[in-house]
């Protein structure tokens, strides 16, 4: 086994030297998301740096786990949700990023970690049906959980990510204290208890972005939590839906380098390039996700109108709670089991 | 007598040769079964005893005992499977009986309609139910227009919706073997029963029904076992509140860093299924369904 490992490592090392440092293999989620990344980030950066980019799609961090544990790493950069990147990092699947190479001085604080640098920002918001509540729907999590002030059916996430923070704020915890309050099993139980109270009014526990968009489009529920971009798309398709950024959860997708990536140094240089404001400011043209680099708003490419709709625009981001990856790395598995107990009651 | 004895040994030898030939012919299939069934199940079993740190551990099983959700999920899984099987029998048996009484041409037409859903993707059929059953879906819209009920009924995103969808998808699996068994019943038995003074009801229950049992048992077991591992339909129509083992397996793979957490669920489900079938076999003569049991 050990000999085999050494052999693969040696083979990997030889492959690295053979390829020199002229190319990187990037894996992302495919679809319109990767298309946006490709047009705004990868292709322009390829021509600017001369680093050849090979794009792939992948199935998430479980693919990286398989590659790293078998010693056959082929990916240099992976796009990932911030939470799963944090878990992968805790598992030792990711390289540390070199922030002497990648300049994050103008990044929003909390949108980069030791192992993962933010690529785009999205929000977990509460959205409402404008047929039911008009334009003045719920303006806080307290409103979302208040079935007397806002009678009607709800949908809520069927998993822990983005589910407990809102409940905690609804229970009276200040936005800035949410993660401190959640930092124990009692705290988690408190948030789950709040959701348990609302449960008779929750018709659906959603499991995907497509699902919560459809729930609003078909008027199946009057209110739901979900990802802002999906509601924008649903609105474009004619849904009567509106959402607020107030107390929303600011989350991000990020780029990471798998442990033992064949072109680690080139990947680092490439990440430095696509993290620059001049690339990130193009992203909103292709998808309604905001840049992680604050300076991208100052290049003049993002119009004021566009910015007002983006989760990471200065006026929107200050109303929100940044998602704490440390909390997810520490508590997600425990919280998930507790959450399932509430769901199956 | 001596000639007979020689003949007998000759026959025995021939029979043995025949068996070996059959075994030889079926050995590729046996090997295939070994490769695609026994090895993965064995691996599953092994992996379920590997903990997060990669050493032997019972933690995956301990977790299932410690957390109440697991027992509830297994209960829901068996509940949904039993209810689906029961409903399929209630709907499927009379339907199969009806079709079996029709003249051949009409019966064929009916069987095609029964089989038609098989040609459509499972996912499409499941989403079709969602469109039909949701709050502003066709069923609620029409019923309210017709004045059948005032407020939209909650018939999806819950147990009701899950059962409707699963019964629809599972029905052909029950009807096919039941219909087959019914077609094989000699009508003369019923005539004989009538001739001996049994009314139609008595003739049905004492003669026809027992003879159709092998098909019914086969169909019910097939539906039941398929339900135990069902994923798509409950995930879409259950509204996140009807959580079955298959769904928990998926979320455990995403959540935990090792495969063991999910494997252990598979092992327990497999064991429970085998136990259920074993108990069923004590009460029902399962060998009937395979045509054996001489």
Domain harbouring A198, CATH code? 3.40.190.10
Contacts of residue A222 in chain B, CB cutoff 8 Å?
none
Residues A243, A333, single domain; the answer is: yes
Residues A66, A142, single domain; the answer is: no
Q: Do A91 and B235 touch (CB under 8 A)?
A: no
Residues A32, A162, single domain; the answer is: no
Residues A138, A238, single domain; the answer is: yes
User: What confidence category does residue B134 fall into, taking pLDDT thresholds of 50, 70 and 90?
Assistant: very high
Residues A294, A330, single domain; the answer is: no
Of all residues in chain A, the one with the smallest CA distance to B52 is A91
- Encode B26-62: b = buried (16+ Cβ within 10 Å), e = exposed: eeeeeeeeeeeeeeeeeebeebbbbeeeeeebebbbe
pLDDT for A17 equals 40
pLDDT for A12 equals 44
CB-based contact (8 Å) between A165 and chain B? no
Residues A140, A74, single domain; the answer is: no
ipTM: 0.84
pLDDT in tens, B228-280: 999 999 999 999 999 999 999 988 887 876 788 889 999 999 999 999 888 88
Quick one: what percent of chain A has pLDDT higher than 90? Answer: 66
Residues A86, A30, single domain; the answer is: yes
User: What confidence category does residue A21 fall into, taking pLDDT thresholds of 50, 70 and 90?
Assistant: low
Contacts of residue A332 in chain B, CB cutoff 8 Å?
255
Of all residues in chain A, the one with the smallest CA distance to B133 is A220
Residues A245, A294, single domain; the answer is: no
Tally of structural domains, chain A: 2
Would you say B105 and B97 are in contact if contact means Cβ atoms under 8 Å apart?
no
CB-based contact (8 Å) between A332 and chain B? yes
pLDDT in tens, A319-340: 999 898 889 888 998 999 999 9
Burial of B237 (0-12, 13-18, 19+ CB in 10 A): buried
- Residue A285 is part of which domain span? 2-121+252-321
Pairing of strands A77-81, A23-28: parallel
Residues A311, A217, single domain; the answer is: no
Q: Give B128 to chain A, closest Cα distance, Å.
A: 14
Contacts of residue A340 in chain B, CB cutoff 8 Å?
67, 69, 73, 243, 248, 251
Residues A218, A292, single domain; the answer is: no
Is pLDDT at A236 greater than 90 in this prediction? no
Largest pairwise CA distance in chain A:
68
Residues A218, A330, single domain; the answer is: yes
The CATH homologous superfamily for domain B68-290 is MetI-like (1.10.3720.10)
Map out the domains of chain B as residue ranges: 1-47, 68-290
Between CA A116 and CA B93 the distance in angstroms is 59
Cα–Cα separations (whole angstroms), residue A322 to A52, A128, A140: 34, 22, 16
């Amino acid at each position: 086994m050990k000999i085999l490992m050494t052999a693969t490592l040696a083979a990997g090392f030889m492959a690295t030297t053979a390829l020199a440092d002229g190319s990187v293999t990037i894996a992302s989620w495919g679809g319109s998301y990767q298309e946006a990344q490709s047009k705004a980030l990868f292709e322009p950066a390829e021509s600017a740096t001369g680093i050849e980019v090979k794009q792939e799609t992948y199935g998430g961090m479980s693919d990286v786990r398989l590659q790293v544990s078998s010693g056959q790493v082929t990916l240099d950069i992976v796009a990932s949700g911030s939470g799963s990147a944090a878990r992968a990092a805790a598992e030792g699947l990711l390289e540390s990023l070199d922030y002497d190479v990648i300049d994050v001085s103008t990044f929003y604080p909390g949108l980069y970690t030791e192992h993962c640098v933010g690529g785009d920002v999205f929000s977990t918001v509460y959205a409402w049906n404008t047929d039911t509540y008009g334009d003045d729907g719920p303006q806080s999590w307290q409103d979302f959980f208040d079935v007397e002030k806002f009678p009607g059916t709800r949908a809520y996430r069927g998993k822990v990510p983005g589910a407990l923070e809102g409940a905690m704020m609804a229970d009276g915890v200040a936005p800035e204290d949410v993660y401190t309050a959640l930092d124990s099993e009692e705290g988690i139980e408190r948030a789950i208890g709040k959701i348990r109270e609302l449960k008779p009014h929750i018709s659906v526990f959603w499991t995907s972005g497509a699902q919560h968009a459809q729930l609003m489009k078909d008027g199946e529920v009057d209110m739901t939590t979900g990802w802002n971009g999906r509601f924008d798309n649903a609105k474009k398709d004619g849904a009567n839906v509106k959402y607020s950024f107030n107390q929303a959860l600011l989350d991000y997708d990020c780029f990471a380098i798998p442990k033992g990536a064949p072109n680690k140094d080139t990947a680092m240089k490439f990440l430095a390039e696509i993290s620059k404001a001049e690339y990130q400011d193009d992203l909103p043209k292709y998808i309604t996700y905001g840049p992680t680099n604050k300076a991208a708003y100052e290049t003049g490419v993002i119009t004021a109108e566009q910015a007002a709709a983006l989760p990471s625009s200065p006026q929107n981001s200050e109303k929100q709670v940044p998602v704490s990856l440390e909390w997810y790395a520490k508590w997600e598995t425990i919280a998930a089991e507790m959450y399932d107990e509430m769901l199956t009651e | 007598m001596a000639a007979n004895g020689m003949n007998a040994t000759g026959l025995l030898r021939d029979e043995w040769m025949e068996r070996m030939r059959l075994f030889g012919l079926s050995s590729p299939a046996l090997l295939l079964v070994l490769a695609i069934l026994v090895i993965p199940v064995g691996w599953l079993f092994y992996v379920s005893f590997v903990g997060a740190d990669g050493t032997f551990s019972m933690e995956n099983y301990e977790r299932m005992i410690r957390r109440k959700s697991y027992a509830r999920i297994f209960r829901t899984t068996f509940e949904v499977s039993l209810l689906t099987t029961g409903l399929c029998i209630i709907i499927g048996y009379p339907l199969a009986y009806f079709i079996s009484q029709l003249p051949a041409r009409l019966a064929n037409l009916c069987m095609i309609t029964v089989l038609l859903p098989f040609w459509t993707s499972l996912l499409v059929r499941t989403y079709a139910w969602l469109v039909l059953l949701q709050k502003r879906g066709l069923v609620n819209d029409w019923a309210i227009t017709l004045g059948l009920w005032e407020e939209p009924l909650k018939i999806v995103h819950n147990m009701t919706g899950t059962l409707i969808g699963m019964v629809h998808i599972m029905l052909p699996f029950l009807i096919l073997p039941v219909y087959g068994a019914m077609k094989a019943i000699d009508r003369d038995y019923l005539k004989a029963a009538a001739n001996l003074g049994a009314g139609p009801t008595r003739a049905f229950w004492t003669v026809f029904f027992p003879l159709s049992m092998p098909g019914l048992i086969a169909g019910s077991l097939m539906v039941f076992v398929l339900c135990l591992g069902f994923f798509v339909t409950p995930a879409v129509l259950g509204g996140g509140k009807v959580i079955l083992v298959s769904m928990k397996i998926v979320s455990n793979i995403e959540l935990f860093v090792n495969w063991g957490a999910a494997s252990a669920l598979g092992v327990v489900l497999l064991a429970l299924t085998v136990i259920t079938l074993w108990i069923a076999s004590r009460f029902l003569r399962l060998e009937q369904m395979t045509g054996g049991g001489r």
